[in-house]
C-alpha cells in the first residue's frame, strides 16, 4: 500500500506546486515602493513646459499617478476606463507621459479625451526609473501624506477600478 501511496503523494505535491506556478504572472513584480514615500521629481507639465510639478505640490491630496505614452498599445485600451474614472472625481489623476514626443502626446489627448488633471513629461524616462517603472501603463495610488499605497501594472480595467482603486481611494480620502 505504502509503495503506491508515496509516488501518489509526490505526484500530488508536484502537481499543486506546478499549478500554482502556472497561475503566477511573472510580469507582475511586487513593487518595493508600497508604504514608501513617492520618489521626488520636478517635471515639466505637458501642456505648459514652463511650469513644473512635483509630488510635494500634491501633499494633502489623494492622487493616482498613471504612466502612459502615445506609443503604448495597452494605454489605448486603458484610456476609456481612465476617462470614466476621471468623471467620478474620486481622486486627482496625474499622468506621467513616459518617453513620448510632446506633439504626439498632445494629439493623443485631443483625440481620445484627457482624463488627467495634469500630465508631466518624462522624455528620457528618468522619472520612470526612479519610480521603478518597467512596463507602461502603470498606475500608482499615493495618499495624502505622499506615501505610495498601491501599484497596478498593466492596463487598468473596469474591474480593477471597481474592486481595487475606488475602495482604496475612498479609504485614503477618509484618512
Partner 1 sequence: MKILTLITLLLWAGLGSAGVEYREFKNPEQQEAYESLTSELRCLVCQNQTIADSNADLAADLRRQVYEMLEKGQSKDEVLKFMTERYGDFVLYNPPFKVKTLLLWLGPVLFFLIGALFVIVLIRRKQTSPKQVLSDEQQQKIRRLLDEGDRS
Among 56, 57, 104, 124, binds partner 1 (CB under 8 A): 124
Is 149 a binding residue for partner 1 by CB under 8 A? The answer is no
Residue (of 67, 7, 1, 60) closest to 33 by Cα position = 67
Diameter of the chain measured on Cα atoms: 79
The alpha-carbon radius of gyration of the chain (Å, integer) is 20
CB of 133 to partner 1, least distance (A): 8
Which region among 57-65, 87-95, 101-109, 128-136 touches partner 1 (by CB under 8 A)? 128-136
Among 37, 135, 158, 167, binds partner 1 (CB under 8 A): 135
Is 40 a binding residue for partner 1 by CB under 8 A? The answer is no
How many amino acids of this chain bind partner 1 (CB under 8 A)?
Answer: 18
Of 32 and 167, CB closest to partner 1 = 32
Q: Please, are residues 30 and 40 in contact by the beta-carbon 8 Å criterion? A: no
Residue (of 122, 141, 124) closest to 46 by Cα position = 122
Is 32 a binding residue for partner 1 by CB under 8 A? The answer is yes
Name the site residues for partner 1 (rule: CB under 8 A): 26-27, 29-33, 99, 124-126, 128-132, 134-135
Amino acid at each position: 500500500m505504502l509503495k503506491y501511496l508515496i509516488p501518489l503523494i509526490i505526484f500530488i505535491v508536484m502537481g499543486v506546486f506546478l499549478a500554482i506556478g502556472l497561475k503566477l504572472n511573472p510580469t507582475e513584480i511586487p513593487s518595493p515602493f508600497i508604504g514608501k514615500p513617492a520618489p521626488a521629481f520636478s517635471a515639466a507639465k505637458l501642456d505648459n513646459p514652463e511650469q513644473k510639478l512635483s509630488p510635494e505640490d500634491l501633499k494633502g491630496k489623494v492622487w493616482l499617478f498613471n504612466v502612459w505614452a502615445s506609443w503604448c498599445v495597452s494605454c489605448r485600451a486603458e484610456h476609456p476606463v481612465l476617462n470614466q474614472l476621471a468623471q467620478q472625481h474620486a481622486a486627482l489623476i496625474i499622468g506621467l507621459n513616459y518617453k513620448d514626443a510632446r506633439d504626439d502626446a498632445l494629439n493623443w489627448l485631443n483625440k481620445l479625451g484627457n482624463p488627467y488633471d495634469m500630465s508631466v513629461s518624462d522624455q528620457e524616462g528618468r522619472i520612470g526609473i526612479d519610480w521603478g517603472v518597467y512596463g507602461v501603463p502603470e498606475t500608482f495610488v499615493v495618499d495624502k501624506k505622499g506615501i505610495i499605497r498601491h501599484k497596478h501594472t498593466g492596463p487598468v480595467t473596469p474591474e480593477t477600478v471597481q474592486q481595487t482603486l475606488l475602495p482604496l481611494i475612498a479609504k485614503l480620502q477618509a484618512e
